[in-house]
């Protein structure tokens, strides 16, 4: 699937997502620029399945709207861009529900990656888990001194972004971040290419809008074609790499239910 043939979502399982409109905020900070803000600051902008579905629906509408030329993805508040998927929601699911949810999430993330118009992630603070997945799958990442990014899947016996990160920052840096799960602060993230724009004054939101305005001024057809060519890559089948990673993660033996997998996270929260 490429940006050229990005489809509208099928109705089943999409409509009536149950997400409050306040949890995914829409605004237009400049002509041609749609900003979608994960608005759950009390949960460090954790991405529930309902929010992820709502994001997909918003992008589907934006794909068909000639007035939208660029999409910014942001997080509300100063604490986090996004802490990842909503672990409380995952903890409440049965194993079968969790498996079905992850299959749907995998497809929704791929749809975001192949969205035909330019996307800009305003990574103004902490980014973990799915937050980092969405940031990496954006065409542009903007950060600043408070940016703090990590790919933490290895800590939990999984793998994320093996299909993409080496192309963004090189194999050596990708191997380092993926295997150690260490966090990368803004200045280093910019130095290694994980961030494409760096707001030294900390105004990540403003820098993201300035970049989006630059992009919105370009011929839309040209940007769509460029994105399609970049997404397809230089002969590699990126979708196959993505599916292999997902298959490996799902085939790894689990230590138990989601509460056991993220026991250290839940224990830390309980002790606060």
* Domain range for 224: 3-270
CATH of the domain at 29: 3.90.226.10
Query: Closest by alpha carbon to 265, among 110, 156, 114?
Result: 156
Give the β-pairing of 140-143 and 197-198.
parallel
Give whole-number Cα distances, 12 to 9, 53, 122, 178, in Å: 9, 11, 31, 35
Q: Which residues contact 10 (CB under 8 A, 6 or more apart)?
A: none
pLDDT digits (tens, 9 = 90+) for 194-228: 999 999 999 999 999 999 999 999 999 999 999 98
**C-alpha–C-alpha distance, residues 143 and 200, integer Å:** 9
pLDDT digits (tens, 9 = 90+) for 129-167: 999 999 999 999 999 999 999 999 999 888 999 999 999
Torsion of CA 74, 76, 78, 81, to 10 degrees: -40
- pLDDT greater than 70 at residue 234: no
Q: How confident is the model at residue 241 (pLDDT cuts 50, 70, 90)?
A: confident
| Distance in angstroms (rounded) separating the CA atoms of residues 113 and 107 | 10
Question: How many folded domains does the chain comprise?
Answer: 1
- Residue among 32, 41, 24, 121 at smallest CA distance from 78: 41
Model confidence pTM above 0.75: yes
């Amino acid at each position: 699937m490429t940006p050229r043939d990005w489809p509208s979502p099928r109705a089943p399982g999409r409509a009536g997502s149950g997400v409050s409109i306040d949890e995914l905020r829409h605004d237009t900070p400049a002509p041609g620029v749609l900003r979608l803000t994960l608005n759950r600051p009390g949960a460090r902008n954790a991405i529930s399945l309902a929010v992820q579905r709502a994001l997909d629906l918003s992008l589907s509408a934006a794909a068909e709207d000639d007035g939208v030329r660029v999409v910014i993805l942001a997080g509300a508040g100063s604490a986090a861009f996004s802490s990842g998927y909503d672990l409380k929601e995952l903890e409440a699911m049965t194993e079968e529900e969790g498996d079905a949810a992850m299959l749907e999430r995998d497809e929704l993330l791929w749809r975001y990656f192949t969205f035909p118009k330019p996307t800009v992630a305003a990574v103004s603070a902490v980014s973990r888990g799915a937050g980092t997945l969405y940031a990496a799958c954006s065409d542009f990442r903007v950060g600043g001194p408070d940016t703090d990014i990590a790919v933490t899947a290895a800590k939990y016996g999984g793998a994320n972004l093996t299909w993409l990160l080496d192309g963004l920052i090189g194999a050596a840096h990708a191997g380092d971040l993926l295997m150690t799960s260490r966090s990368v602060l803004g200045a280093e993230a910019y130095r290694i290419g994980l961030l494409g724009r760096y707001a030294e004054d900390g105004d990540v939101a403003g820098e993201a809008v300035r970049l989006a305005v630059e992009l919105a001024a370009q011929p839309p057809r040209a940007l769509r074609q460029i994105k399609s060519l970049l997404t397809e890559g230089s002969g590699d089948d990126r979708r196959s790499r993505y599916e292999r990673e997902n298959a490996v993660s799902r085939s790894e033996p689990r230590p138990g239910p989601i509460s056991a997998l993220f026991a250290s996270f839940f224990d830390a929260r309980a002790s606060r």
